[in-house]
Amino acid sequence: MEELFTYVLRLADNNWFLSYRLGEYVSKGPYLEEDLALTNTGVDLIGQAEILYKYASEIMEGGVSPDELAYRRSEHEYYNAQLVEAPNSDYAYIQARQIYMDLYNFYLLEKLKESKDELLSSYAKKSIKEVTYHLKRSTDWILRFGLGTEESKLKIQAALDELWKYTGELFEVDELQKTMQEKGIAPDLSQIKEKWFTRLTEILNSAELQVPAGDYFMTGGRKGYHTEHMGYMLTEIQYLNRLYPDAVW
């Protein structure tokens, strides 16, 4: 029960904090249509996180509410990958972070549809439709950056290189992940990694960009260890809920 609860939180937290980062960029997109598209991506991710937080609450038999899971945990009680904490340095960073996460989410959900957990399987079948759209958008942007001007090419390559060190954590297999895989609840991350890397390479080659080099990767997010950016995010995310803890929306 507790293992499933933690696994579901890992999935939810990734979506929750990525949606927050995208929400920070509302009204700042390069043009109106793209601003709306980026906002809609964030809204999709909030919806996905909500489904998972509700499920996590049910696993604990209502002992903690979905809102409490989203807003009232301490920093070390969140289990998201550190990649989704990366700030919106510029639009190239947003799309570099997005292509890494969209590819991961797409192949994760593709396999999660086969989960023996009925709700997770249903969640994956619903959400992959949204993530397919997210991936198409981020792929298009990588191509536009890579095949655009000399400056756009330099910016997207720099962003891909800088964020590369966070990608290894997405495919880490710890005891919890191993247990979930053995039970048929979680997909095999090694298979997802292979598909992720193959497709990423194809996209970057088409954009005349280089797959980042280096085998040093950040770790710790799934154990509750985060970057220096996490505290600032939580200060904003949790402010209103902590100020009015009994408020009903």
- Amino acid code (one letter) for 64: V
**Residue 74: domain span:** 2-243
43 inside domain? yes
248 inside domain? no
The beta-carbon contacts of 64-67 under 8 Å, at least 24 apart in sequence, are 67/241
The residue written with tokens 């979905």 in the block is 66
**Mean of all residue pLDDT scores within the chain:** 95
235 inside domain? yes
Q: Is the pLDDT of residue 39 over 70?
A: yes
Give the pLDDT confidence of 146-181 residue by residue, as tens digits: 999 999 999 999 999 999 999 999 999 999 999 999
130 inside domain? yes
Which pLDDT band, with edges at 50, 70 and 90, does 248 fall under? low
The residue written with tokens 């060190």 in the block is 165
249 inside domain? no
Q: What is the CATH number of the domain that holds 120?
A: 1.20.1260.10
- Those residues whose C-beta lies under 8 Å from the C-beta of residue 142, and which sit 6 or more positions away, are 95, 96, 99, 156, 203, 204, 207, 209
Q: Report the domain count for the chain.
A: 1
190 inside domain? yes
Q: Say what the pTM is.
A: 0.95
- As separate numbers, helices (DSSP H) first and strands (DSSP E) second, the chain gives 9, 0
- Give pLDDT, residue 137: 95
Give the pLDDT confidence of 119-139 residue by residue, as tens digits: 999 999 999 999 999 999 999
